[in-house]
Amino acid sequence: MRFRTLILLALGATLLAPGEALAQNTKLQASVGPGFSIRLLGPGGAAVTRLAPGTYDIVVRDLSEEHNFHLRGPGVDETTSLEFVGTVTWTVTLRDGRYTFVCDPHSDSMQGSFVVGEEPPPPPPVVQKLVATVGPRAAITLRNANGGVPRNLKPGLFTIVVRDRSKLHNVHLAGAGINRRTRIAGTGTVTWKVRLTRGTLRFYSDASPRRLRGSVRIG
């Protein structure tokens, strides 16, 4: 009799254990107010910067009528109302991606964010393309890759194809962080990979810098 009870107790314990583990979501502590403060703390009390995907209980303490706590990200859009003061618990499932939390009326200063799962890869750098041409006639141009007049150029990485088709002129690019030239007597096509800064990019022939010249704005 006693022996059977022990076995049943043991069975009960093993059956309960997984169920209990499932029911226990990791708790996060969110708070906003009473001053201009907003935060989200993990189980250890540190500010949340990165979490594993999964289901969490977020205990939100909204301590001011002037502020709200608004959490947004993949699959989640939860907020307390502005006038609400008190504590509420949200059970949310967080997926890979970036989540932000703000006080909506003061989103410029009262905000934070964290990443769930892997950090999304940074977007590849945008490389702008230009084509500089001098010759064969006495003319120098700087164009887009499609032949158009360059507009809205932004500081950053550029690929510049330089076509020097004249033995009397060269291509000289100066300003906006660079100073490069081809040889006056030489001809040929080269490609320069450069980083241009905000400013005026001038292009001209050193053989005739007043006549064969132009410029574009960067930034």
The smaller minimum CB distance to Cu ion, of residues 63 and 138, is found at 63
In the complex, least distance from residue 36 CB atom to Cu ion, rounded to whole angstroms = 6
Instruction: Please give the residue ranges that form the binding site for Cu ion (CB under 5 A).
Output: 67, 103, 105-106, 110
In the complex, least distance from residue 101 CB atom to Cu ion, rounded to whole angstroms = 12
Backbone φ, ψ for residue 206 (5° rounding):
-65, -20
The smaller minimum CB distance to Cu ion, of residues 70 and 172, is found at 70
The smaller minimum CB distance to Cu ion, of residues 56 and 101, is found at 101
| Integer Cα distance of 149 and 157 in angstroms | 18
| Integer Cα distance of 56 and 133 in angstroms | 60
In the complex, least distance from residue 53 CB atom to Cu ion, rounded to whole angstroms = 29
Sequence-distant (≥ 6) Cβ neighbours of residue 117 within 8 angstroms: 52, 53, 95, 96, 97
The smaller minimum CB distance to Cu ion, of residues 110 and 212, is found at 110
In the complex, least distance from residue 30 CB atom to Cu ion, rounded to whole angstroms = 14
DSSP string covering 158-206, please? EEEEEEE--SS---EEEETTEEEE--SS--EEEEEEEEE-SEEEEEE-T
